[in-house]
Amino acid sequence: MGTAQIKALLGDQLSDLEWKVQAPLIEEINQLKKDKNAIILAHNYQSPIIFHGVGDIQGDSLLLAQEAQKTRADIIVMAGVHFMAETAKLLSPEKKVLIPDLKAGCSLASSITGADVRLLKERFPGVPVVTYVNSSADVKAETDVCCTSANAVSVVESLGVKKVIFLPDEFLGKWVATQTDVELILWKGHCEVHEQFTREELKTFRAKYPGIHIIAHPECPPDVLEEADFVGSTSGMIKHLFALKPPKVVMVTECSMADNVRVNLPETEFIKPCTLCPHMQRITLEKIRDSLKFDQYEVLIPEELAKKARASVERMIQIPRGKFG
Ligand code: 13P
Ligand code: SF4
């Protein structure tokens, strides 16, 4: 897409002054991508100027992982957070994977370590471990199979067992437990963005906007999910919206996503409960440009660790998304 088309697509989301600063950066990044045979993977929570302006592959964490495995590019720049870059590196070990800001972390990933998982396995011997991809390579290395919010139910059920250790998102785990008979042993990790939503807030939306459709990400607390009309991964929510095209919607999730979606869904009015992910926000066009220019910051995983962590991600990729993704 040329810069004029990007400007038209983003419409009211950017002032003329902002565009004047950002347009040359977009052009510079697109040229650097060509020169270095690089691609940019952009998560659904990334700011619209990055998502639509320079993202080559856009989607949820599962799609980004799958595409990282398929690409022929020499360099992958992750316009997402660190665990997403690590997952890309696990699946494309021969490629250079860059994250424009090393501090782009995730409260779920930092809630648990490999040593914690080893202790849990000692406490519950023989119980398989399913871990959300929002985790470090260290934790993935102690995991039987990873999952994302798009395939969590299918992954848990694929093991054919009665009990599973499900890490580290307590709320995602509680939601999965409502969809399956498998018993889940949970950890108390939370997403710092989604844990802030409350049932009262959703009730206020219903009262203020009669007939509003409410969709939520399963990282939200259980009472919030009970109040929602649909629960799904970021991609699950997008698919649901394009199929339903409700007149008014509130997406109970990170708020850049509503901005990314609304440019292609003009018939729907988006009411935004605005909570940004501070980690996603660390990624800017300037940092992406510098990342490409100076090959920074390369994500490296020691091979012994990578071998174990990779197996748990590869097992996940074989399992289909399911109806929530
Ligand atoms: P998805 O797996 O739905 O893309 O979500 C990733 C994430 O970080 C949600 O907070
Ligand atoms: Fe992590 Fe939450 Fe940010 Fe997703 S939105 S990257 S789960 S802190």
> What are phi and psi for residue 234, nearest 5 degrees?
-60, -45
> What are phi and psi for residue 265, nearest 5 degrees?
-135, 65
Q: Which ligand 1 atom minimizes the distance to the CA of 134?
A: 8
Residue 291 and residue 297 in contact, taking contact as beta carbons nearer than 8 Å: yes
How many C-beta atoms lie closer than 10 Å to residue 278's C-beta?
Answer: 13
| Residue whose CA is at the smallest distance from ligand 1 atom 2 | 61
Tokens of 149: 């919010």
Q: Which of 132, 324, 320 is nearest to 225 (CA)?
A: 324
Spacing, Cα 234 to ligand 1 middle (Å): 6
Query: How confident is the model at residue 69, as a pLDDT?
Result: 86
Q: Which ligand is nearest to the CA of 236?
A: 1
Residue 263 and residue 9 in contact, taking contact as beta carbons nearer than 8 Å: yes
- 74-126: per-residue pLDDT in tens? 999 999 999 999 999 999 999 999 999 999 999 999 999 999 999 999 999 99
The two counts, helices (H) then strands (E), for the chain are 15, 12
Q: Which of 41, 43, 83, 282 to mutate to test the pocket of ligand 1 (most atoms within 8 A of CB)?
A: 43
- Cα(209)–Cα(203) distance, rounded to whole angstroms? 10
Statement: the pTM of the whole predicted model exceeds 0.85: yes
- Given a cut of 70, is residue 325 above it in pLDDT? no
- Contacts from 72-77 at CB under 8 Å and sequence distance 24+? 73/37, 73/38, 73/39, 74/36, 74/37, 74/38, 75/36, 75/37, 75/38, 75/39, 75/292, 75/295, 76/38, 76/39, 76/41, 77/38, 77/39, 77/40, 77/41, 77/288, 77/291, 77/292
- What residues line ligand 2, using a CB cutoff of 6 Å? 45, 81, 106-108, 134, 191-193, 219, 254, 277, 279-280
- 167-191: per-residue pLDDT in tens? 999 999 999 999 999 999 999 999 9
| Residue whose CA is at the smallest distance from ligand 2 atom 5 | 277
Q: Which ligand is nearest to the CA of 61?
A: 1
Domains of the chain (ranges, CATH numbers): 3-104+280-294 (3.40.50.10800), 109-190+302-317 (3.40.50.10800), 194-270 (3.40.50.10800)
- 41-64: per-residue pLDDT in tens? 999 999 999 999 999 999 988 889
Residues 279-299 have a mean pLDDT of: 98
Exposure of 230 by Cβ count < 10 A (0-12 exposed, 13-18 middle, 19+ buried)? middle
